[in-house]
A and B are shown apart, each in its own frame.
Chain A
Amino acid sequence: MIEAHITHPELPLFSLLDIEKSFPIDQGRRRLRALDGIRLTVRAGESLALVGESGSGKSTLVRVMLGLETPSNGRILYGAHELAVFDIDQRRRFAREVAYIYQDARGSLNPRMSVADLLAEPVRLHGLRESTEIPNRVDELLSMVGLPRDVRFKYPSELSGGQVRRVAVARALACEPKVIVADESVAGLDVSVQAQLLNLLRDLQRTQGLAMVFVTHDLSVAAYLCQRLAVMYLGRIVEKGPTREVLEQPLHPYTRGLMKAFPRFDAPLAVSLQGEIPSPANLPVGCRFRSRCEYAQADCAQVDPTQRQVGDSRYLACLHPLGYQAVQSGAPAGALG
C-alpha cells in the first residue's frame, strides 16, 4: 500500500516498496544489510530530505533509487513502471528526468571540459535544443544558478568550491529534469556560500516546480529546503512526515536526539545521544536504536518496530514514541517533550 494513492490522485514519481539492500561480507559468509524495509514515495514538485548520521544508509538509498544499485528485495516504481525492467528508451528518459548532483561536485565534473562544454553536453545528448540554440541555453543555465557569463571558458580547477557546486546544479538543470537528487550538496562550504547555495536550491525548487530529494546530515538544512523529512537510522526510516511537524514535535527518540545535538545560539551544548551508530554488520536484536536510546524498555530488545502510520501524515518505527498520546489527542506540541 502506497500512502500517496490515498492522498493524491495521480501517481507519485517514485514509489519505493519495502526496499532491502544487502552486501556480502566475510567472503560471502554473512550479509550486511544496508537498507531494510524502506517505504517511501516522492511526488511531483515535492521536496524530501533524507537525514541521519553517517552509516545510516542515506547514500545507499539514493543509489538504489537512481538505479545505480539493484535492491536485494522490494520494488522501485518510477511513475507506473518498474525501474528494474526498464527498456533502453525508458532508461534514457529516466536519465534525463532524474538529475543527480553528486556529493563530490568537483570530482563529478570532467576536469578537461570547460564549463560551457559541461553544460552543453547533456543538452546535446538528450537532444533538448537545436545545436545553434545550445550557446544561448548555456547562458540561460548560468544565469539561473547565478554565475557570471565569463565562467563559460573556465575549467573546474579554476573555480571556487561554491562556483563548482553551482556548475553541478546548472548541469543537473540542463536536462530539464522532473526530480533533482542531491547528496550533501552544501556540506563543507563557508556559511555565506552555503547560504547562497541554499537560497538558490530553494528558489529553483519552488519556481521550477521540481521535485527534490536532498540527502543531508544537517537537520537545519533539511528544514530550510524540504517540505517532507525522512529520518534514517541503520538502514531504516525511523520517522517520516512533514518537516515542520516532525521538528516541532519529534516522536522518535532518535529524531529528538539529533535535534538536540545541533549547536544553537540560545541553548548550552547538549550531548543528547551517547555512543556511536553501531556497525550495520552487527545489527542489534529488536529495535536497532535501542543501544543508544534513553527510553528503551524491555520489549525494545525483542520486537523490531516496523514503520506504522501515526496521525494523518506521519510515520514512525518506535514502540514507545515520545508524546504519542499528545499527537492522538491533538494536545499542543512538546507536551511530553
Chain B
Amino acid sequence: MKAPMLHVKNLTLRRKGVAVLDDVSISLPTGQTLALIGESGAGKSTLAFAAMGLVRPPEVELQGRLMVGDTDIVTAQERTLRQLRGARMGMIFQDASAALNPCFTVLEHLAEPLRRHQHLRKDECMNRAVELLASVGIADPEARLKAYPHELSGGMQQRVMIAIALACEPQLLIADEPTSALDVTIQAQIMSLLLGRVRALGASAIFVLHDLALATQVADRVAVMYAGQIVEEGPAAEVLNHPRHPYTRGLRASAIEFDAERLSPIAGVVPSLSAMPPGCRFAPRCAQATTQCSTHKPSFAAIGNVGVSCWNP
C-alpha cells in the first residue's frame, strides 16, 4: 500500500485558545477524492486551509500531526511550503471573483506558477497557458489570455481558477466549495471537469462541500464534520446512503430532494465553539442522547469500513 496523500493524526487547532479543530484524525489514500461535509463552523474549511499550510502558528496553535505526502505541514519551514503550494498542492477557492486579482490578466495568473515552479520562459508560459485553458474547456483560449477577471462569467472564472491550480500538475488538489456560487448546470460542468482533470493527473483531491448529494457523486470518501470534530468517515456512498451517526442522519433528512414529502431538520443550532458540552458535542441536539453522551466524549470506532464517533450508532 502506498503512503497516504494526506495523513492527519490527533490534530487540534486552537485559535485564540478556542479549539476550532478538536482531535481530528483522517487519512486519504493517494489517488482518491475526499469530501468534507458539515454545516458552517464545523471546521471543514479550516481543515482544508490547514492542509494547505495556510493556517499556521503563530496565528493559531497546532498540535498533532498533519502530513501531506512526506512533508510535515506543522513543522515545515515557510520556504518549504512555498515550494509545495502551487507545485505539489493546488487550491481552488470558493469565490473565484475574489481569489483572482482584478489587475492581472488570465495569462498573468496562469504564468505565475509556471514561472515560479517550472521556470518556464515567457513564450513557453504562453503556450502552456493556452493548453491549460483548453484543458478546462474554455473556447478560443488565445483570445481569453488577455481578458481580466471581470470580463469573465462566474463559471469561466472558476475554470480559470482550476487551470491555475492544476498548472503545475499537483498531486493534491484542495477545493473549498468550488461551485457554491454557481448555477447547478454550471456546477455539474465544473465538478465533472475537476474530477476528470484530477483523475487524468492521478492526483488526490479534497472537496469541501455542503451539498450531500453532490458529495456522493464526486467523492470516494467522505468525512462528516460537526463542531470541529469528524463524527463519521468512510466510503462516500456508504456513509451518505446508510448514515450511522445521528448527525449524518439528520443532515440526510434535511437534504431536499425532488420527491421530498416532509423535511425533518435537526433541531437547535451548533453550540458556540467556546462553550462546547463536555461529552459528545452533538448530544444537546441529538434525539437519542443518553446521560453517558452528555458526560463522556465518544471515541472513534470502526463499524465495518466506516468510522463513527458515537456512543449509540
Contact = CB atoms under 8 A, between A and B. Distances in A.
B254 interface: yes
Contacts of B189: 271, 273-274
Nearest to A268: B217
A221 B51 CA distance: 35
Contacts of B183: 53-54, 217
A262 B257 CA distance: 9
A191 B258 contact: no
A196 B265 CA distance: 6
B240 A224 contact: no
B264 A195 contact: yes
Contacts of B50: none
Interface stretch (B1-9, B20-28, B114-122, B206-214): B206-214
Interface in B136-177: 153-156
A247 interface: yes
A190 B37 CA distance: 11
B265 A258 contact: no
Given A53-B185, A192-B250, A220 B265 contact: no
A191 B217 contact: no
B258 A219 contact: yes
A221 B180 CA distance: 16
A259 B258 CA distance: 9
B39 A190 contact: yes
A265 interface: yes
A224 B250 CA distance: 18
A220 B156 CA distance: 26
Contacts of B184: 217-219, 258, 261-263
Interface residues of B, number: 43
A191 B212 contact: yes
A205 B51 CA distance: 46
A257 B258 contact: no
Interface string A35-79: 000000000000000000110000000000000000000000000
Q: By CB atoms of chain A within 10 A, which of B153, B191, B195, B256 has the most?
A: B256
A272 B262 CA distance: 28
Interface in B249-286: 250-251, 253-260, 262-266, 269
Contacts of A264: 213, 217, 257
A329 interface: no
Interface in A177-225: 188, 190-196, 198-199, 217-221, 223-224
Contacts of A223: 258-260
B256 A269 contact: no
Contacts of A198: 256, 263
A7 interface: no
A229 B213 CA distance: 23
Contact of A258 (B185, B216, B257, B263): B185
Contact of A265 (B155, B240, B250, B264): B240
A220 B258 contact: yes
A312 interface: no
Interface string A254-298: 000111011111011111111010000000000000000000000
A194 B265 CA distance: 8
B188 A272 contact: yes
A160 interface: yes
A330 to B, nearest CB: 22
B185 A265 contact: no
B269 A160 contact: yes
A166 B39 CA distance: 19
Contact of B256 (A193, A220, A257, A268): A220
Given A265-B213, A268-B217, A193 B265 contact: yes
Nearest to A273: B185
B218 A269 contact: yes
Interface of B: 39-40, 153-156, 180, 183-189, 191-192, 195, 210-214, 216-218, 240-241, 250-251, 253-260, 262-266, 269
19 contacts: A53-B183, A53-B185, A54-B183, A191-B39, A192-B39, A195-B253, A195-B254, A198-B256, A198-B263, A199-B263, A219-B184, A224-B263, A261-B185, A263-B217, A264-B217, A265-B212, A269-B214, A271-B192, A276-B156
Given A194-B265, A264-B213, 14 more contacts: A53-B185, A188-B180, A190-B40, A193-B39, A195-B254, A195-B264, A195-B265, A198-B263, A224-B263, A247-B258, A263-B187, A264-B257, A265-B213, A268-B217
Closest 5 CB pairs of A and B: A195-B265, A263-B213, A263-B214, A195-B254, A190-B39
